[in-house]
Chains A and B, each alone.
Chain A
Amino acid sequence: MTPLKRHTWWAVAAVLVLAFFLTGESPRATNMGFRMNRGIAPLGPFPIGQNWVALPYTNIYTNAQDICNALGLAPGFGAVRQIAADTGVTFSHVCGNAGPYALLTGRCVIVLNNVATNGILAGSHPAAGVATPGFTLFPLAPPPPRGMNLYPVPYNSAACSAQDLCVQLALPATATVRRLNAFTGVTQSHTCGGAGAFPLILGECVSITFPGGGPIPGINPPHF
């Protein structure tokens, strides 16, 4: 076989570099950004006023006080909580207090306030193919609330219902998806594969629980 000449090798290299940039192998992607005006229900008899607020996966909020500020929560009354489903640890911050905890990425924030309020939440969702480890789901285990995955449904999710999430997140048939209406306190529940799945609501989280098995790796679910 006749060896390729030097200029031929240069041409091959140039084509490979060009292909690298033009075929999407770089991490660049036209991901979608959002600004949402999120309403907050005031506290009432439990569970009224337990607002399961979804944040965009990539957002401008570093700690719990940032959420207090964004949603106009009352100092001394408003509170922001998050559950680490892998450990069962609940993080909590009363608005205006010192030492707010650093927000957990990919986890719902539970917002409480004494009066109805609202505020703009801004951020973006990663492009397809970008890793989202914060979305990892963990099985139920003691002590509670370990395994209570409060999943912030992406603002551009292609899922319409709880059953869509079961399929897109590859949840086991034993998984249960729940929604809490913070204004009424009414909960809706769906077992994956069963009938009667409820529709998902923009800006809300859902609770995902499943007994046994290992963690379900965080995936970037289908989106528009």
Chain B
Amino acid sequence: MTVIAVRLRIPEDVEMKHPLVRLFLFLSAVFVSAALLSAPAYAQCPVPAPAPPAPVCEEGGLVFGGAAAFTWALPAPLCGPVVNDALAGNLAVAWATKSVGASFIGCLAGEDDAAGPPAAADIAVPPIGGGFWYLARASTPGPDFTWNEAAPGQAIDRDALLAGVCP
């Protein structure tokens, strides 16, 4: 479209009819058009996974008590006696992918079907500019519960992306 517009605006005078001038204008229009069409308007986010279903028996709020240790609350009593899972992932990878699947590192030590108190710690030091993310959930000898949150706003389905980890 830009090429056509430029060509139509060429006046009917001698200078503009010079082949070199017309070639210069034509090439300029081509380069400008290519630049406009190829430059992204802004950084594009990865396409998110489907939104999660309503969770069942999710854990309570995860809070840190220091630079390495954190705790969380057990699910509602009607969910029955539970054990705990807690896992970690690479924060820089999660930030870049806007997801948790590819950034998963592993279950935290002692937190794969752990029967103890809902608490975990990680003293690993990430590189400067990097970090770790953490999630916790309730589990049972039978089914596991959820890594998901209770209300809209979570952009991905963590359960689908973390299926099979910390079983």
Contacts and interface: CB of A to CB of B under 8 A. Distances in A.
Q: Do A and B bind each other?
A: yes
Interface of A: 17-18, 21-39, 58-60, 70, 118, 120, 122-124, 126-130, 155-156, 158-164, 190, 195-200, 202-203, 220-224
A24 B91 contact: no
Contacts of A59: 64
Nearest to B95: A202
30 contacts: A17-B78, A21-B77, A24-B150, A26-B76, A28-B60, A28-B76, A30-B136, A34-B91, A34-B134, A35-B126, A35-B134, A118-B128, A120-B67, A122-B66, A127-B150, A128-B154, A129-B149, A155-B133, A156-B94, A160-B98, A161-B42, A161-B44, A162-B42, A190-B42, A195-B42, A197-B43, A202-B91, A221-B153, A222-B154, A223-B154
Interface in B142-161: 146-156, 158
A129 B128 contact: no
Contacts of B66: 60, 122
A29 B73 CA distance: 9
A34 B92 CA distance: 11
Contact of A158 (B48, B65, B127, B147): B48
B153 A222 contact: yes
B54 interface: yes
Given A30-B148, A124-B61, A21 B153 contact: no
Contacts of B62: 30-33, 124
B32 interface: no
Contacts of A224: 48, 94, 98-100, 154-156
A29 B152 contact: no
Interface in B12-69: 41-46, 48, 54-68
B110 interface: no
Contact of B67 (A35, A126, A161, A195): A35
Contacts, number: 200
Given A28-B59, A34-B134, A70-B67, A129 B54 contact: no
B67 A196 contact: no
Task: Choose among A30, A31, A34, A127 the residue with the greatest number of B CB atoms under 10 Å from its CB.
Answer: A30
Contacts of A162: 42
Contacts of A18: 78
B130 A36 contact: yes
Given A156-B94, A164-B45, A35 B153 contact: no
B17 to A, nearest CB: 35
Contact of B130 (A17, A27, A37, A163): A37
B64 A33 contact: yes
B55 A33 contact: no
B151 A34 contact: no
